[in-house]
Structure 1
Amino acid sequence: MSGLLTRLKAFSRSPQGQRTIASVRRAAADPRKQEQARRLLGRLRGRR
């Protein structure tokens, strides 16, 4: 498991990882995306 964490840390520090992190942060700040995530989690938990 530590090998996976090491690879994730290395990726997050790379330029591509930084771009990915910025993209995810922008998407997470979007209210429409937040609602989509809530609906998905509700479905996964068995709620509708």
Structure 2
Amino acid sequence: MSLMQRISTFLRSPKGQQLVDRGRRELAKPDNQQKLKGLAARLSNRRR
């Protein structure tokens, strides 16, 4: 079984669904969105 297949199987499992839901809740928080935007800006500046 390839790595992608294992990840896909995990994400369809109940524990995987809990992890996905938790991630969505965390990403909905304004503080975390601001942190991600800052990280994306830093990463894009490195590429130049």
TM-score of the aligned structures, taking structure 2 as reference length = 0.80
Letter in 1 for 2:42: R
Look up the SS of the partner of 1:21 in the other structure.
helix
1:46 maps to 2:45? yes
Runs of 4+ residues over 4 Å off in structure 1: none
Number of equivalent positions: 46
Partner of 2:24: 25
1:11 maps to 2:10? yes
Partner of 1:37: 36
Q: Which runs of 5+ in 2 are unaligned?
A: none
Identity %, equivalent residues? 37
Task: Note the aligned Cα RMSD (angstroms).
Answer: 1.7
